[in-house]
Structure 1
Amino acid sequence: MSSWSSEHIFEHPWEDVVRAAYRKYPNPCNPAVKGVDVVNRSVCPQGTIQSHRLLSTEFPLPEVAARLLGANDHAMHISEHSKLDRSKSKYELQSKNLTLGHLVTVHERMEYFPHPQDRSKTCLKQQSTVKVNVPFLSGYLERLLIENFEKNAMKGRNGMEWVIDRIKEEDSSNKVKQSSDILTQLETKFKREAEDLKQSMDSFFHKTQANTSPL
């Protein structure tokens, strides 16, 4: 068995990063992920949200590993379980491959939490373990897969940044829309008040003229 771990800091608040993690796929930085299906999602009495998703991916295995493992089409399915605990500001994901499970087992664990010294930033801890059941080649193939994890970790982070940018654009657009709606409401209100004032003034002058008219 071989393992790989890394830590990364996003320059964004935890809430934004978690929103992006839920919407991570599809994105142009991770084109290998072709589909995401929600198998189950529930809200626990403690307030945590638990999700089970199935990812359909064409994760690019190293050519040598794909050939030796008989995965030339690169089609894979991954089972992902996640837990969001807002009270503790923690979002955890654990995934495991379903395809080629008799030959290779890949476990991945990711944890997002606010930076302990700067709440405007978010920490990501990522760990992967690989076990290959191929006699005489397990160590070699495990090293290839671990190297591939390292190469693709940057793609995953870039994908997160891309989604975060989209979310911020949506939030900005919604704020502009809300601001526009408020302005429209105020404009309508002012027009109504001006019309009411005009009618009151017209009525006042009409009465005044009637009272001062010569007999």
Structure 2
Amino acid sequence: MVVSCTQEHVYRHPWHRVTAAAWRKFTDADARAAPLSHILEVHTLSRRVDAGSGRIDAVRAIAGRAPPLPLLLRGLVAAADVVLCVEHTTVDGPARAMRVVSRNANLRALVHVEETCSYRPHPERPDEWTLFRQETSIRCAPLAAVAAWAAEMVERRCAERFMQNASQGREVVETICERLALADH
């Protein structure tokens, strides 16, 4: 079974400000102290800037605290305290498009999570607002020792946690946008 979630959000800030804030989301000191305190480390693994085309491609590794497993599964599945994710970001400056694809790199024997986020100018107010779209797919790996209902429970719990973290991430981007807006004026 696969749990899929899609969310859209309108940032009432221009695309350049929202994407600048999104880049800073995991490294912002205020965000790391409160809403995103589960993020432990962020490392840029590669970055390629093509000045001719206005494109940026980057890969980051993100380490975060793993959510606790449901009590019924703790003795059946070896889990880690840390979730490692790989984030691939592509920015097309001239097209004003940013796409971020993240996947977990560990705990894949238990669950596979893939998130795709896109940032584009809002179609109705392209110079003032940004349309954010987030698509998440969570698939529990087949576990011979665990019944299908337990696998579904893991997927549901992961989806709930993921949605909670995503909401906090959007709040952080909003806060950083506000600070950037003040700096612009």
Mark the CA change 1:65 to 1:83 in structure 2 (over 3 Å): closer, same or farther.
farther
Answer whether contact 1:76 1:98 (CA < 8 A) is retained: yes
What pairs with 1:114-133 in structure 2 (closer than 5 Å)? 114-119=121-126, 120-133=128-141
Aligned to 2:35: 29
- 45-54 or 161-170, which deviates more: 161-170
Q: Which portions of structure 1, spanning 4 or more consecutive aligned residues, are displaced by more than 4 angstroms? A: 61-66
Per the TM alignment, residue 92 of structure 1 is displaced from its structure 2 partner at its CA by 0.2
Larger RCO: 1 or 2 (CA < 8 Å, sep 6+): 2
Aligned to 1:19: 20
Q: What TM-score do you get using the length of structure 1 for normalisation?
A: 0.72
- Which of 178, 181, 184 aligns to 1:165? It is 178
Q: What TM-score do you get using the length of structure 2 for normalisation?
A: 0.83
Gaps of at least 5 residues in structure 1 are 173-215
- Aligned-partner Cα distance in 2 for 1:84–1:20: 13
Per the TM alignment, residue 64 of structure 1 is displaced from its structure 2 partner at its CA by 4.2
Answer whether contact 1:33 1:59 (CA < 8 A) is retained: no
Aligned to 1:111: 118
Mark the CA change 1:123 to 1:32 in structure 2 (over 3 Å): closer, same or farther.
same
- Which of 151, 154, 157 aligns to 1:144? It is 157
Which structure has greater helix proportion?
1
Q: Point out the structure with max Rg over C-alpha.
A: 1
- Aligned-partner Cα distance in 1 for 2:106–2:14: 35
What pairs with 1:1-215 in structure 2 (closer than 5 Å)? 1-26=2-27, 27=31, 28-44=34-50, 45-61=52-68, 63-64=70-71, 67=74, 69-71=77-79, 73=81, 75-119=82-126, 120-133=128-141, 134-135=143-144, 136=147, 137-172=150-185
Q: Over aligned residues, Cα RMSD in angstroms?
A: 2.0
Amino acid at match of 1:168: A
Gaps of at least 5 residues in structure 2 are none
